[in-house]
Structure 1
Amino acid sequence: MRKLKLQVQMTVDGFVAGPNGELDWMWANTERDESSFQKVIELADSCDTILLGRKMTRGFIDYWEDVVDNQPDSQEQPLAKRMVNMRKIVFSRTQSAINGRNLEVENGELAAVIEGLKKEAGKDIMVYGGANFVSSLISLDLIDEYFIITNPAAIGKGLTIFKEKKLLKLESTITYKNGKVLNKYLPV
């Protein structure tokens, strides 16, 4: 059975975005670390499907398609190609079609659809966000592996993915020279 993996960047005070979805803290005061970038590619390569919440989809799709189409010299090209070429499923209660390459919209019941996807043949499944969508997956105990990248930044208030108590077991930790730390957790 395929696993549902969560990869998310988080502040040291537990937020995945500012109150209005701001992500500027991810790049503040940190230098690019090639080994952390390679780890993100490695995690992406372990999957063949990306799940997205509707609210973050437009920004995600537009960003990665722009890198592929218009920024041939970007250092992000290897990841961008994966993001664009991989199967993407957007969960929405309000839309039945969203433009984007290799993108499907799913309006079905979340837990049932995810359980069905896990039973399909193929590599694992990755979810990157958004915050409310990920919170729903966590609340329904659908996440099999948590890859939480803690950034050396605190923002004081913002969006969180944990809405209730959730016990996790730390499986591994990688510290990067840019101050970010990747912790892999498993549900208890």
Structure 2
Amino acid sequence: MRKLKYYVACTVDGFIARENGSFDFFPMEGEHFADLFDSFPETIPGHIQEALGIPAENKQFDAVLMGRKTYEVGLKVGVTNPYPSLKQYVFSHTMEASPDENIQIVSHNPVDLVKELKKETGKDIWLCGGGALAATLFSEIDEMIVKLNPVVIGAGIPLFSRALDPTNLQLADRKIYSNGFMLLHYRLQK
């Protein structure tokens, strides 16, 4: 059965973006990028893959879930199809039509859709963000892959937008880089 994996960058103080949705505070260089590009190439937006010569290969995921605000980050700069190698779902109650034929707008219960996607054959499902969607889908998240960046911002959009029941995590893998970046793989114990 496919798994839902929350693969997300965050600060040491638990934020995935500033309150306005920007994420320009994350370091944009470092030794960890080669590993991320190699292990998760499909999570690099298509126009960046092309510019950097990263093969458009789906190693981990074949579907991506985004909240409207996460999707709109690219849309504001003209990127309507951010992950062309993935089946893309955008959850929104306000978007009436998709700006791109490759984007499926979902206005109904995200949990129901994830349960259906998990039954399908294929690679795992990437929960891209944001914090509100992650909180809504928490019961369906099987693993978290946290790209922990050595930075604090004090306020912003948290990993989860609301309080959750305490849930233990099992550390499945980790890699610590000399620049302080950590890649942490957790399984949720429910």
Q: Is TM-score (shorter-chain normalized) higher than 0.5?
A: yes
Aligned residues: 171
The residue type equivalent to 1:20 in the other structure is: N
Report the counterpart of residue 179 of structure 1 in structure 2. Answer: 180
Once the two structures are superposed, residues 14-57 of structure 1 have per-residue CA deviations (whole angstroms, 9 ceiling, x without a partner) of 111122222111126x5353123323327752211111111111
* Structure 2 CA distance for partners of 1:35 and 1:103, relative to 1, 3 Å: same
TM-score, normalised with respect to structure 2 = 0.79
Please state how far the C-alpha of 1:85 moved relative to its aligned partner.
Answer: 2.8
Query: Conserved in 2, the CA contact under 8 Å of 1:53 and 1:91?
Result: yes
Please state how far the C-alpha of 1:59 moved relative to its aligned partner.
Answer: 1.9
Report the counterpart of residue 50 of structure 2 in structure 1. Answer: none
Query: Conserved in 1, the CA contact under 8 Å of 2:17 and 2:23?
Result: yes
Structure 1 CA distance for aligned equivalents of residues 159 and 35 of structure 2:
26
Please state how far the C-alpha of 1:143 moved relative to its aligned partner.
Answer: 0.6
Where structure 2 has 5 or more consecutive residues not aligned to the other structure, the ranges are 44-57
Q: Which of 57, 60, 66 is the matching residue for 1:46?
A: 60
What is the root-mean-square deviation of aligned Cα atoms in Å?
A: 2.4
Does the alignment pair 1:19 with 2:19?
Answer: yes
SS at match of 1:122: coil
* Structure 2 CA distance for partners of 1:134 and 1:121, relative to 1, 3 Å: same
TM-score, normalised with respect to structure 1 = 0.80
Please state how far the C-alpha of 1:91 moved relative to its aligned partner.
Answer: 1.2
Please state how far the C-alpha of 1:94 moved relative to its aligned partner.
Answer: 2.0
* Percent of aligned positions that are identical: 32
Report the counterpart of residue 146 of structure 2 in structure 1. Answer: 148
Task: Name segments (4+ residues, structure 1) moved above 4 Å.
Answer: 61-66
SS at match of 2:170: strand
The residue type equivalent to 1:58 in the other structure is: E
Q: Which of 72, 85, 89 is the matching residue for 1:58?
A: 72
